[in-house]
């Protein structure tokens, strides 16, 4: 270790779960980290409204400011770690840190998915780094993999389980045959889901993360507002069971894919063949599949949340930033993987233009001609059928039918569903789920 180098001084904003974990990991592994970084990384100041709580946590050697702005403006701080969350105060703090010439490390996916373009531009102008490995998949170094590990590739698609709460809920629904609401309540009791779980279960958190992954995979600006987002609240246990019978599992996937005319950017429950590794990612774990033209499929797996897994990514960013602190900014990896002047202006496709395979379930009258009518509607709309099963569970004189389609354009599927609903013999809303083979 280059003992003569001054330690790098970190200002830590927010001493909640991840902030506390970051403080602990930096302290516990200080020796190991310095042996790698060649320099000590020391939290010298903490910004935390609850000063007493912070004092109890960090001891007497660290300065504590109730006003986080006092930390970002402190000339003795080299790197600001933003772990407050949210997109209002955090945005101001990050901008202010950059304006004061400080590097920023953050786990704030919402902030970067919504305001990343502005933040990265400001950082570039001031010659500072904004590192955000912790923003996606916790401790799994997926941002480093995409941004640095796969630079040889034209990346074709990324598909990931990037929200642990929903993966936990889906795993429990499948393994124990319980309905969504019951599992959610249990997840809240166990701390796997927050008191207000909206962002998780509605897919918003996954969409924040996917937005960042898409930008780095394809070299496009962040465009969260263009993401198509469906959560798991409407998902029925019946469809999880049918999927299983058909050899699939249902996962909430974030999927982004390059098409000739633009980029797909979508989060929704997805049927995946049960023999894929990603279909077997259980509980609160995360996994991301990245497909590059040279490397083929690669997968990255680990804990996507929690105190120390997330801190692992924050500290890895601190080591990276420490290494390049005094370097010419040209040597640094661009925030969104591509040189800022080389970003592409590929549009994000409308969900209607997305291509996928589909799972369609409908309750129909058990009488001759029904199947022919439905098959005709599908054919007329250019949708070809891959498999069809009739469920034995339906009531008297009606039958639950499931179609699996080959790849089709979503707009065509929407039109076909509309036409099916107009048939007298179709007695329920058509359940429509997307299906991806990820090969």
Just list the catalytic residues: 209
User: With respect to a second copy, which residue has the nearer C-beta, 26 or 354?
Assistant: 26
Does 437 interact with a second copy (rule: CB under 8 A)? no
User: With respect to a second copy, which residue has the nearer C-beta, 8 or 140?
Assistant: 140
Question: What whole-number distance in Å separates Cα of residue 10 and Cα of residue 296?
Answer: 39
Instruction: Tell the smallest beta-carbon distance from residue 395 to a second copy (Å).
Output: 37
Does 313 interact with a second copy (rule: CB under 8 A)? yes
Instruction: Tell the smallest beta-carbon distance from residue 182 to a second copy (Å).
Output: 24
Which position among 175, 198, 245, 339 is part of the footprint of a second copy (CB under 8 A)? 339
Does 296 interact with a second copy (rule: CB under 8 A)? yes
Does 158 interact with a second copy (rule: CB under 8 A)? no
Does 176 interact with a second copy (rule: CB under 8 A)? no
Does 316 interact with a second copy (rule: CB under 8 A)? yes
Helical H segments across 60-135, by residue range: 68-72, 89-99, 109-126
Does 23 interact with a second copy (rule: CB under 8 A)? no
Does 21 interact with a second copy (rule: CB under 8 A)? yes
According to the 3-state scheme, what is the secondary structure of 130-180?
A: EECHHHCCCCCCHHHHHHHHCCCCCEEEEEEECCHHHHHHHHHHHHHCCCH
| Phi, psi for residue 178 in degrees, rounded to 5 | -95, 155
What are the tokens at 340? 């800022």
Does 175 interact with a second copy (rule: CB under 8 A)? no
User: With respect to a second copy, which residue has the nearer C-beta, 310 or 356?
Assistant: 310
Q: Which residues in the 118-157 window bind a second copy by CB under 8 A?
A: 133, 138-141, 144-145, 148-154
User: With respect to a second copy, which residue has the nearer C-beta, 217 or 433?
Assistant: 217
Helix (H, G, I), strand (E, B) or coil at 193: coil
Question: What whole-number distance in Å separates Cα of residue 334 and Cα of residue 216?
Answer: 9
Question: What whole-number distance in Å separates Cα of residue 140 and Cα of residue 312?
Answer: 9
Q: Is 328 exposed, middle or buried (0-12, 13-18, 19+ CB in 10 A)?
A: exposed
User: With respect to a second copy, which residue has the nearer C-beta, 115 or 291?
Assistant: 291
Question: What whole-number distance in Å separates Cα of residue 93 and Cα of residue 152?
Answer: 35
User: With respect to a second copy, which residue has the nearer C-beta, 22 or 356?
Assistant: 22
Q: Greatest CA separation found in the chain? A: 86
Characterize 116-125 residue by residue with b for buried, 16 or more Cβ atoms within 10 angstroms of its Cβ, and e for exposed: bbebbebbbe
Instruction: Tell the smallest beta-carbon distance from residue 325 to a second copy (Å).
Output: 9
Which position among 60, 181, 326, 422 is part of the footprint of a second copy (CB under 8 A)? 326
Pairing, β 296-303 against β 285-292 = antiparallel
Instruction: Tell the smallest beta-carbon distance from residue 254 to a second copy (Å).
Output: 18
Chain residues binding a second copy by CB under 8 A are: 1-2, 21, 25-26, 28-29, 32-38, 133, 138-141, 144-145, 148-154, 219, 277, 280-281, 292-303, 308-309, 311-316, 318-320, 323-324, 326-328, 330-334, 337-339, 341-342
């Amino acid at each position: 270790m280059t003992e003569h180098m001054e330690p790098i001084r970190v200002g830590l904003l927010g001493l909640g779960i991840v902030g506390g974990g970051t403080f602990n990991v930096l302290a516990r592994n200080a020796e190991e980290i310095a042996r790698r970084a060649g320099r000590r990384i020391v939290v010298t100041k903490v910004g935390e409204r609850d000063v007493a709580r912070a004092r109890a946590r960090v001891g007497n050697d660290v300065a504590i400011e109730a006003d986080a702005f006092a930390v970002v403006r402190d000339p003795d701080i080299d790197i600001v770690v933003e772990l407050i969350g949210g997109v209002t105060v955090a945005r101001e703090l990050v901008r202010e840190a950059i304006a004061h010439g400080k590097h920023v490390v953050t786990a704030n996916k919402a902030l970067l998915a919504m305001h990343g373009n502005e933040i990265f531009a400001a950082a570039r102008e001031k010659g500072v780094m904004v590192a955000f490995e912790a923003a996606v998949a916790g401790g799994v170094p997926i941002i480093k993999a995409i941004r640095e590990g796969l630079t040889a590739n034209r990346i074709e698609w990324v598909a990931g389980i990037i929200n642990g709460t929903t993966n936990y809920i889906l795993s429990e629904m499948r393994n124990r045959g319980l309905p969504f609401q019951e599992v959610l309540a249990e997840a809240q009791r166990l701390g796997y889901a927050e008191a207000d779980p909206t962002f998780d279960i509605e897919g918003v958190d996954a969409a924040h993360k996917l937005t960042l992954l898409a930008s780095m995979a394809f070299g496009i600006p962040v465009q969260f507002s263009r993401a198509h987002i469906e959560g798991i609240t409407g998902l029925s246990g019946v469809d999880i069971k049918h999927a299983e019978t058909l050899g699939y599992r249902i996962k909430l996937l974030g999927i982004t894919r390059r098409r000739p005319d633009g980029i797909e950017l979508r989060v929704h429950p997805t049927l995946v063949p049960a023999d894929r590794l990603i279909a077997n990612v259980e509980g609160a774990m995360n996994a991301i599949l990245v497909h590059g033209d040279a490397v083929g499929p690669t997968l990255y797996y680990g804990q996507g949340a929690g105190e120390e897994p997330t801190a692992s990514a924050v500290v890895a960013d601190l080591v990276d930033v420490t290494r390049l602190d005094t370097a010419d900014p040209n040597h640094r990896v661009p925030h969104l993987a591509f040189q800022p002047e080389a970003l592409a202006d590929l549009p994000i496709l409308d969900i209607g233009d997305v291509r996928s395979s589909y799972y369609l379930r409908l309750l129909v009258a058990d009488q001759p001609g029904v199947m022919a009518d439905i098959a005709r509607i599908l054919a007329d709309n250019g949708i070809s059928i891959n498999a069809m099963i009739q469920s034995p569970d339906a009531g008297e004189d009606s039958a639950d039918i499931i179609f699996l389609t080959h790849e089709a354009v979503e707009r065509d599927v929407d039109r076909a569903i509309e036409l099916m609903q107009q048939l007298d013999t179709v007695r329920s809303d058509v359940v429509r789920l997307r299906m991806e083979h990820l090969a």
